[in-house]
A and B are shown apart, each in its own frame.
Chain A
């Protein structure tokens, strides 16, 4: 049964050494080429936060860095903003989530001023996932994804940590999961609650977010001053409040499993009625409002691009349109 009984030990060592050399060459060549293609990271920005622009993370020219376009459509893309994994900006404040490789790799939330210069840097555990700045630019929130927090047993262990930062007072809540939660009218306790995707109201006090517990997700409404949160409805993730504060865009899970699970919906907060949008692809993003009638969001890119930004009317009419080829993390500065 011995595979090669007739091959002498010396020959085997030789054969394995040759194979090892070939494999090492493959590994090194591939790595060197990948290192050569690597984009440099930057902390500086070639532009500031100006009204009337759409900011986004470019995945094409100047990949990994923030770029911008005038909202009016005319005018070219300006690249060479700061390097971020996720980006959001509003009211003269930018929020940049970035990773720095190393052992172990580190991640940071960087608060940027109106000229996109670094004001504060907060070290974070996990992988940057969502970033949001309130309309006034005062309140910031971001979500990190961590593995290894296995509460529920088994291998399906993931958890999120959502932080809140008041830039006026400098008060930082690293993990908002201790906020008293009312679920279905009752005070709720469970170690497996996870929050993500916060969006702030104009008063910088009210907020909406997603909470998940025991395999279900809920839309929650929270109050920062009272420090309470209550669930509004089931199955709504990554809410995004319209500029006029009357509607919430969110992604709804329409299918189990991992194939195309989400669809974009808009919830009218006065009637609490939801409406699917004309986008029929699965959107896994916290949408941004381009204006009171249009949403912008990222989808996996076409023609080999990593990601594209699309828009769709917020009332369920019309058709999706490609806005920015090669971009993600859209944010409109009004």
Chain B
């Protein structure tokens, strides 16, 4: 098992330029995410069924509970990043997030038909997801050579997506075998979730890998980190380059129409057998999975700015395809392909893009700020698009979105710093000068 070599590779990663390999901690975190995503996507896939048929609750109640805690994730993410940096406990914070999500499956099992209990379980799951994301991404960046960040995130996201693909399949297969025993889905999901936590505990190193990166590995280092954290995660926004990356991500996020809208438009345009509708996201995920690593490598070689902008251009292409009178297979394949490219070129790449601009002792906070900014602006975009659709109809709304995205891409191109792809840690220090 490759994971056995974790520690050896981890300590080597800091000093050696290992262009040829992805480090052990990154693979370990990828494995954790894969297993965890199986666990969470299993539940997500059956939750509506469980609600309406298993419990006999109304769809309206499901919508209410499901939407309740979406905003929470964004705020909790900042907190997770801040705490991780402050205590130098990336692993502990991420681990508690994974554990909380795993335990939430037992909550679902125990809640029975009580909506309050189900609500609490869903909240715990979202809380866990919010807390763990930034420390995990910080760990990936801290355990990868700066010139291979794109690929490291590509590998992680690819593994993550494998889990997301397998989860629903596993859940539907379980329902098939047990004739709709939802409790079996929750129990199996819990087992996967707990296994993910164990993988993390056993194979992911605790903090930044080498003494030369952080001020010190021991108690002194922790104190220094605490001081750094105390200066507030948001103080990062005073750094010009970081602020620009954040601005670009938020700007683009504000022009990103949610996938659900695009799938719905696709389904309306094509009018294909509706039972295949749930499989559309799987098509996107497959493209994402295949392209995440190659695009990450490209980003490492030629700079991360290009792929990030090109990814959004792919999203623009998806809008355009839906606006043009193309139809049939071309439209379906084109849109799914474009969405897959969009994710492959933007999700992990953004983290690789921002990492060099944040000092290691504030990496988790920095990533949390970028992710939160992007997530919040996407929420605004979705609400805005929904409103535009209601007011002016779908064609006009989509045309507006396309225009907004074009403007956002131009704005982001101007904002994103042109410095090389693999700014060394020294460059990160230099960029700390306040504007």
Seen from chain A, the residues whose Cβ lies within 8 Å of a Cβ on chain B are 1-4, 9-10, 12-13, 15-16, 19-20, 23-24, 26-27, 30-31, 34-35, 37-41, 85, 99, 101-107, 123-129, 145-158, 160, 190-192, 212, 214, 257-259, 261, 284, 298, 300, 306-307, 328
Sampled A-B contacts (6; CB under 8 Å): A27-B191, A125-B274, A153-B258, A153-B387, A154-B382, A258-B116
Contact B275 A104 (CB under 8 A): yes
Contact B260 A85 (CB under 8 A): no
For the complex with contacts A101-B176, A149-B260, 4 further pairs of A-B residues with Cβ separation under 8 Å are A1-B92, A35-B181, A129-B59, A190-B390
Contact B187 A30 (CB under 8 A): yes
Residue B347, interface by CB 8 Å: no
The CA-CA distance from A39 to B180 in the complex, in Å, is 10
Chain B residues with CB under 8 A of A107: 275
- With contacts A151-B389, A300-B113 known, is A127 near B49, CB below 8 A? yes
Chain A residues with CB under 8 A of B6: 9
Contact B180 A101 (CB under 8 A): yes
The CA-CA distance from A127 to B180 in the complex, in Å, is 13
Contact A145 B52 (CB under 8 A): yes
- With contacts A34-B184, A147-B48 known, is A16 near B59, CB below 8 A? no
Q: What is the chain B residue whose CB lies nearest that of A213?
A: B390
The CA-CA distance from A105 to B52 in the complex, in Å, is 15
Contact B179 A156 (CB under 8 A): no
Give the segment of B151-159, B193-201, B328-336, B421-429 that binds chain A: B193-201
Contact A257 B64 (CB under 8 A): yes
Contact A307 B88 (CB under 8 A): no
The CA-CA distance from A126 to B273 in the complex, in Å, is 12
Contact B179 A148 (CB under 8 A): no
Contact B179 A298 (CB under 8 A): no
Chain A residues with CB under 8 A of B302: none
The CA-CA distance from A35 to B175 in the complex, in Å, is 9
Contact B179 A149 (CB under 8 A): no
Contact A153 B53 (CB under 8 A): no
Chain A residues with CB under 8 A of B61: 258, 261, 284
Chain A residues with CB under 8 A of B67: 154-157
Residue B396, interface by CB 8 Å: no
Residue B91, interface by CB 8 Å: yes
Chain A residues with CB under 8 A of B201: 3-4
Contact B205 A158 (CB under 8 A): no
The CA-CA distance from A309 to B91 in the complex, in Å, is 52
Give the segment of B166-174, B236-244, B309-317 that binds chain A: B166-174
Chain A residues with CB under 8 A of B383: 152-154
Q: Which residue of A37, A101, A151, A158 contacts B60 across the interface (Cβ within 8 Å)?
A: A158
From residue A198, how far is it (CB to closest CB) to chain B in Å? 15
Name B94-115 residues within 8 Å CB distance of A.
113, 115
Q: What is the chain A residue whose CB lies nearest that of B264?
A: A149
Chain B residues with CB under 8 A of A145: 48, 52, 59, 62
Top 10 A-B residue pairs of the complex, sorted by shortest distance between their CB atoms: A156-B67, A38-B179, A125-B274, A153-B382, A34-B181, A150-B260, A153-B386, A101-B176, A158-B63, A34-B178
The CA-CA distance from A23 to B261 in the complex, in Å, is 38
Contact A150 B206 (CB under 8 A): no
Q: Which residue of A1, A160, A261, A306 contacts B59 across the interface (Cβ within 8 Å)?
A: A160
Interface centre among B66, B202, B379 (most CB of A within 10 A): B202
Chain B residues with CB under 8 A of A149: 260, 264
The CA-CA distance from A300 to B67 in the complex, in Å, is 24
Q: Which residue of B199, B205, B274, B382 contacts A2 across the interface (Cβ within 8 Å)?
A: B205
Number of A-B contacts (CB under 8 A): 207
Q: What is the chain B residue whose CB lies nearest that of A26?
A: B191
Q: Which residue of A129, A156, A190 contacts B66 across the interface (Cβ within 8 Å)?
A: A156
The prevalent SS among residues of B at the interface is: helix
Chain B residues with CB under 8 A of A156: 63-64, 66-68
- With contacts A2-B206, A125-B275, A259-B116 known, is A9 near B5, CB below 8 A? yes
The CA-CA distance from A328 to B55 in the complex, in Å, is 12
Contact B382 A16 (CB under 8 A): no
Q: What is the chain A residue whose CB lies nearest that of B52?
A: A127
Contact A35 B264 (CB under 8 A): no
Give the segment of B14-22, B129-137, B276-284, B365-373 that binds chain A: B276-284
Chain B residues with CB under 8 A of A257: 64
Chain B residues with CB under 8 A of A298: 56
Q: What is the chain B residue whose CB lies nearest that of A23?
A: B191
Q: Which residue of A3, A128, A157 contacts B53 across the interface (Cβ within 8 Å)?
A: A128
Contact B195 A191 (CB under 8 A): no
Chain A residues with CB under 8 A of B66: 155-158
Residue B12, interface by CB 8 Å: no
- With contacts A104-B276, A125-B274, A155-B70 known, is A150 near B264, CB below 8 A? yes
Interface centre among A16, A23, A153, A284 (most CB of B within 10 A): A153
Q: What is the chain A residue whose CB lies nearest that of B58?
A: A284
Residue B407, interface by CB 8 Å: no
The CA-CA distance from A1 to B216 in the complex, in Å, is 12
The CA-CA distance from A2 to B66 in the complex, in Å, is 37
- With contacts A2-B205, A149-B264, A258-B65 known, is A105 near B181, CB below 8 A? no
Chain A residues with CB under 8 A of B89: 1
Q: What is the chain A residue whose CB lies nearest that of B281?
A: A148
The CA-CA distance from A160 to B68 in the complex, in Å, is 20
Contact A39 B4 (CB under 8 A): no
- With contacts A1-B88, A34-B178, A123-B275 known, is A191 near B59, CB below 8 A? no
Chain A residues with CB under 8 A of B181: 31, 34-35, 37-38
Contact A151 B386 (CB under 8 A): yes
- With contacts A13-B1, A125-B277, A129-B52 known, is A157 near B260, CB below 8 A? yes
Q: What is the chain B residue whose CB lies nearest that of A108?
A: B275
Chain A residues with CB under 8 A of B382: 150, 153-154
Contact B60 A103 (CB under 8 A): no
Contact A191 B183 (CB under 8 A): no
The CA-CA distance from A191 to B395 in the complex, in Å, is 12
Beta-carbon contacts of B28-41 to A below 8 Å, as 1s and 0s?
A: 00000000000000
From residue A77, how far is it (CB to closest CB) to chain B in Å? 20
Q: Which residue of A30, A148, A261 contacts B264 across the interface (Cβ within 8 Å)?
A: A148
The CA-CA distance from A129 to B56 in the complex, in Å, is 9
The CA-CA distance from A107 to B183 in the complex, in Å, is 21
Contact A31 B178 (CB under 8 A): yes
From residue A25, how far is it (CB to closest CB) to chain B in Å? 9
